[in-house]
Amino acid sequence: MSARYVPVQWNRNKYFYDAVLTLAVGAYLWLFLNIAPTISNHSAPVDGAIHNARAFGTCAFLMLTVILSIGPLARLDERLLPLLYNRRHFGVMTCLVALTHAGFVVDWYFNFSPTPKYQAVLAANTSYGQLLGFPFESLGMLALLFLIILAATSHDFWLSFLTPRIWKWLHYLIYPTYALIVAHVGLGVLQGAENQLFSIVVGISVTLVALLHLAAALMGQKPPESRVDQGGWEAIGHVGEIADGRAKVARLSNDERVAVFRHEGKLSAIASVCAHQNGPLGEGRIVWGCVTCPWHGFQYRVTDGRAPAPFTEKVPTFNLKLSGETVLVHKEPNPPGTYVEPVLIDAVGAGS
């Protein structure tokens, strides 16, 4: 955390995350390169360069499927949140795997072209007006370009330079990237595949990603059944639902996301969006009297939404009150850094 931009430092969790990710990618590639040829039904052996390209290509596709599944899975089950926190590392490695796939393809199919091989990728087939024989290579190249942009701007410097809002919108490129890769695969390798296993894998992967995002969206949009709106006050749940040191997150009717924290027998409400990278503050916990963002450790006092000195980050706070055991939050946020007196949990709402 900083009063100005400084790089986010590596820690033990990041090293462990990357080590497991590297081992998983290595294991998949080894299995594909050494085991897959023994179970394939090709009439003739597949050239080594082509087999390498398929290994890295399928690996990149499956990695991107996992990346797009982590977000909704973490929303559906908070135990999976550790997978979310360093997902950018996952994306950078996916880009490297995809680049390796592209290198094998270009070197094998276009290395002896009379035109420069990278130019030949786009010039060899220009039948864009038909489905069968569509130049799927161009779709793969565009997807690869998007992956490179995402990987190159994943560092926190770009988030600080572009601002969190622009950075977030830029990284929505992951969705058209996935669509381009699915089209690249569907119009390319699947049309000539003798073994239908990969076709089944692609179908299951796309369906899984779509269903997980739909389930997470439905869960996030469903308002609490007990919600009321009386003069701007909205019920978000009961005191007993909030564990000590943790928060209950709710989306208010004006689309504000609020996190109501319980700490030392009192309740306080702040915005559930970290000022650093729009991280999920409501999924963090209170450490040394401050809410600690689970993404990069930025901290804020729950009473005023301010980072402890000498740091200057701050988030909006919300007024709240108790009606019996029901927690009511005023839907209009206070300006960032506004102090709000915590609400004492009396005997009626003391259960947890």
- The CATH number given to whatever domain includes residue 213 is 1.20.120
Q: What is the pLDDT along the chain (352 residues), one digit of tens a residue?
A: 333 444 455 667 778 888 999 999 999 999 998 887 666 555 555 567 888 988 999 999 999 999 999 988 887 887 777 777 778 889 999 999 999 999 998 887 777 777 777 777 777 777 777 777 788 888 999 999 999 999 999 887 787 788 777 888 898 999 999 999 999 988 877 665 556 777 888 999 999 999 999 998 887 655 444 455 567 888 888 888 888 888 888 888 888 889 999 988 899 999 988 887 777 888 888 877 788 887 777 889 999 999 888 888 899 999 999 888 889 999 899 999 999 999 988 644 444 4
Q: So what's the pLDDT on residue 64?
A: 96
Residues 267 and 161 in one domain: no
Residues 110 and 187 in one domain: yes
Q: So what's the pLDDT on residue 71?
A: 86
CATH number of the domain where residue 299 is located: 2.102.10.10
Q: How many domains does the chain have?
A: 2
Structural domain includes residue 227? no
What's the distance, Cα to Cα, between the start and end of the chain in Å? Answer: 32
Residues 309 and 212 in one domain: no
Q: So what's the pLDDT on residue 352?
A: 43
Classify residue 286 as left (phi > 0), alpha (psi -120 to 50) or beta: beta
Q: So what's the pLDDT on residue 208?
A: 95
Residues 215 and 252 in one domain: no
Residues 175 and 283 in one domain: no
Instruction: Give every CB contact of residue 234 below 8 A, 6+ residues apart in sequence.
Output: 227, 228, 250, 252, 253, 328, 329, 330, 331
What's 224's DSSP letter? P
Q: So what's the pLDDT on residue 2?
A: 38
Structural domain includes residue 261? yes
Structural domain includes residue 274? yes
Residue ending a domain, choose from 169, 192, 221: 221
What's 223's DSSP letter? P
Structural domain includes residue 302? yes
**Residue 11 is encoded by which pair of tokens?**
């820690």
Structural domain includes residue 107? yes
Residues 55 and 191 in one domain: yes
Q: So what's the pLDDT on residue 192?
A: 58
CB 329 within 8 A of CB 338: no
Residues 46 and 93 in one domain: yes
Range of the domain at 329: 233-349
Residues 179 and 300 in one domain: no
Residues 288 and 197 in one domain: no
Residue type, 296: H
Q: So what's the pLDDT on residue 348?
A: 45
Beta strands in the chain (DSSP E): 233-238, 247-251, 257-263, 266-271, 285-287, 290-292, 299-301, 317-318, 320-323, 326-330, 343-344
